[in-house]
Structure 1
Amino acid sequence: MNKSLALVSGLLVVALTGCSSQMERKTASGSYEYLKAEQQAVLKVPADLHSPDYSGDYELPQLGAGADHSLIGRELSVQSPTLVLPLVAGSRVEDGNQSATIWFDQVDDSQPLNQAIWNSLLAYLEQQGIGVESFDPEAGVLVTDWMVQDMGEDASWYDFSDETHQTERRFEFSMEVKPHGRTAALHAELKDYRETLGEDVKSDLLAMQERREEVDVLNKVINHYEYQIRLEDSRRLAQIRQGLNTELGYDSDGAAAFIVNAGYDIAWPRLLLVLRKLGFDVKDLDKSTGLLFVTYNGADESWWKGWFSDDGELLEQDDYRLRVGKMGEKTSITFMNNESKPFEPNVVADIYDAFVEAMSQDNLDI
């Protein structure tokens, strides 16, 4: 009996200690006797004596008009402030902005920036099993369904309470897009909040707690967006490293060209690797127009077996240009001289084998 009583008492002490430690993480430690302190009267100096000089170094500032006078003692949270984390490439936060807002600059032209942000947000909500109450892309506003979190799932092993502890939140996400479409801001705002503990329901939050909720959900969306980008980059990198099938054909202008069986965003970086492997130096390039200005520095026999004849090299060490074009799910690559005149079909056919050998090799060095 004594052993059982001692065990129960020990568990009770542990439980109480655990609860108090959670509270201590949110409130200031130590004594709160300072709350009983009273304002001291100003020192009265006789009229025939000089008043001493007072320093204002330790004067407390006056509270603002909107300050909450109840935030004292244990009611004042000492948790570190929550910050919006700009994890995505091209993202940033504005100094001094107290709202849960992040700005994105377009770094990937594969899809419009606002569409990429909305797609990432919707994917995050779907992954978390959170419904969408309303979504108006034209107005740039999305309102979520209730996000329900059962706090009992996070309860400690020593928590023997059967009371329901659950929080529910609804958020509104709004987007502001600059007229040029390459910069956009995503803003999160807490619309509704309910916290249920047993039969008690709390629906009011302090401003600091409300901002913490908004920043927390925004950071989760940002983290998901950054994770999706990393996955896509890994997928693209794997595709670039893989060999690509190439055939002879004609570009959209009717010039003889190599037709690569891959989209533009995959064929473009792959071509840069192939050119380097084949002895070209890229002097200038413009992905938006598909133009490359290159210099051929001489053949490497291990790669350019198909570029030789009895008369010597088919290409002189000179400057050339390449034009890369989109052809649906395929990409055209047109070799040209330094005056933008496409190679003749027979020259393109002669260099085909060497080009295909490099373009089709797996695990090409990056």
Structure 2
Amino acid sequence: MKTISRFALLALIASLAACSVLESDKIDYKSAGKAPTLEVPPDLTQLSRENRYAVPGGAVTASGYQAGIANAPSIPTAVGNIGDVRMERSGSQRWIVVNRSPDQLWEPVRDFWQENGFLLTTEQRNLGIMETDWAENRAKLPQDIIRGTLGKLVDSVYSTGELDRFRTRLERTPNGTEIFVSHRGMEEVYNTARKDQTVWQPRATDPELETEFLRRLMVKLGVSQEQSKLLAATSAPARTASVANVGGQPVVQINENFERAWRRVGLALDRTGFTVEDRDRSAGTYFVRYVAPNPDKKEPGFFGKLFTFGGSGKTEGPLKYRILVKGQGEASTVAVLNESGAPETSANAQRIVQVIADDLK
């Protein structure tokens, strides 16, 4: 095999691929630990553990010990329930509700990601947040003949050109825990006309991939395969969100009450790469960090409007903001405040509300 050139080996793989079947409905992740390391933007560095988040008697999410959390009202939604586990959905967003405490769920959820081929790069139990490493779905490679014939050799020379990362957030409720899973993706693309160099750039969030991992997590928590597929298929009417200007301040308007808006905004922040440092559900506030884009650099999409992955482009340092969710009846607004809590009207605020609105549509 040492005398076979890389080109010849790839040609052999291509010929075998013609005889194999691509099982696109399977998931088989492998951590990208041995792949070229992606440059980590300054806004994605792991936060240090701070004592002010700690609660005597056990680790809980930040919202778990906020005073004055009222029981959520009955809300029309797509809900499937098996035992103490159910799935809820609003538009393209889904999450799991479990009648167990975050303390009871942390280790099972942690084991779940490791069993699915991921390494965890962030574990903030005091905030109820864990995040995986970038990993590749090897099931997207031609299966059976190639994998059976060449084995591990394929892994070293053949790539899907895509990497995925998942963030899990556990949030305490009066009756248990809500579990949110958000996806972020990268793809390898040519950056020269000669196609001799590649770079990694963000690709769109995949709600179906989020749903599949939520379904599998339900199985981990005791739901059967058949029941989990039935619950994941439950549909719900789409909810709308739009950007408006209220008193000179850009805001997102959502036709949902506070409880629903709070959940959906939190998932949108996770999806779009904000670093949530803390949250206060009783005040409707997320404390986030944001990296403004380079105004001289082309902005390829909503990820590009937040930060730059790799390349030589420079961005400003991370800025701290508060995302305020305020409900009034069956409608809510989302506004951006500065670090001290004053209304923010800058170009960054406009970008942030637009990113949130785009994900909520």
Give the TM-score, by structure 1 length. 0.32
Give the TM-score, by structure 2 length. 0.32
Larger radius of gyration between Structure 1 and Structure 2:
1
